[in-house]
Amino acid sequence: SVHRNKKSITLNLKTEKGKEIFYKLAEKSDVVIESFRPGVTKRLGVDYETIKKINPKIVYCSVSGYGQNGPYKDLPGHDINYIAIGGILGLTGQYGGPPIIPGIQIADLAGGCMLATISILIALIAREKTGKGQYIDVSMTDGAVSLLTHTSALYFAEGKPPERGGTNLTGYFPCYNVYEAKDGKYISIGCLEERFWRNLCKAIGKEEFAEHQWDTNKREEIFSALKKIFKTKTRDEWFKELSKMDVCVGPVYSLDEVFQDPQITHRKMAVEIEHPTIGKIKILGIPIKFSETPGKIRTPAPGFGEHTEEILKMLGYNQKEIEEFKKSEII
């Protein structure tokens, strides 16, 4: 699902000829994205200042763990490190328990990919108005911090950090939590608003709890009761029943269940495409639905360097030169 609709070229940027090819690509491009550690592109001679001289309208985006400056800029890292320093890992887990690693890469995907995409689009729109390209510095750690909207507001207002699992959106209260069902599977309850909480209390025959949604003195009592109640029916029975009662509810799925769910299949979030070497494969669908310009998956993710020759020929190199590039390990 990653890199579909793209073409792949291999290029040795430590060679002069490799740089020459890169410069030709940059001259014809709107955007350059790189994810080296700070300083690497300058050493290679493909940094923003160099490329800007070749193409003044270029939008050049650097995505790194900690950004292009600051005391951590040269540190190695991965998603777990960025969300640790960015505060997300410290907030993730049950009340009184240890930090729990999320099931997806939050800083990589939300802090890096999405922020880079948004910033590049903004820069391209700005270029339409000003005629100028620009440099973009995206830090995955900054991106992680930017996701702390609710918890940072609590911290700034109260002057003390929220405890892990200790807020209304992290499972401290019974109205927003996960419960085990009769079949050992889990059901999620997200009744933050009073009316949804009342609907749940009515549905499970505990209307007396409706007045105590945020009552810390009643919290353990309500938790204990709900845990017992949810174990009286299977996960899917609860989902079917509660979804008819205007309750914020959702089954906790394994991945195989996700891609069999009627809502997910209706929205075509898993699609089958033809791969040139292995035949039909399933990949993720397109999550954004445009009315006038719907997205289309034209090609699967390319093999490493799959389109090197095609791209070089597009740049004007002939087959003899391409063979020489191979011998010289430029490509």
Choose, from 47, 74, 79, 108, the residue flagged as catalytic: 108
H helix runs in the chain, sequence order? 16-28, 40-44, 48-54, 79-85, 88-91, 106, 115-130, 140-146, 149-158, 194-203, 219-230, 235-243, 255-258, 262-266, 308-314, 319-327
C-alpha 141/C-alpha 63 separation (Å) is 10
Q: Which two tokens stand for residue 289?
A: 């639905």
Across the chain, which distance is largest between two alpha carbons, in Å? 82
H helix runs in 131-261, sequence order? 140-146, 149-158, 194-203, 219-230, 235-243, 255-258
DSSP label at residue 231: T
286 phi/psi in degrees, rounded to 5:
-95, 120
Regarding beta strands 176-180 and 186-190, do their DSSP bridges make them parallel or antiparallel, or are they unpaired? antiparallel
Contact between 209 and 218 under an 8 Å Cβ cutoff? The reply is yes
Contact between 147 and 110 under an 8 Å Cβ cutoff? The reply is yes
108 catalytic per annotation: yes
Q: Which residues are catalytic?
A: 108
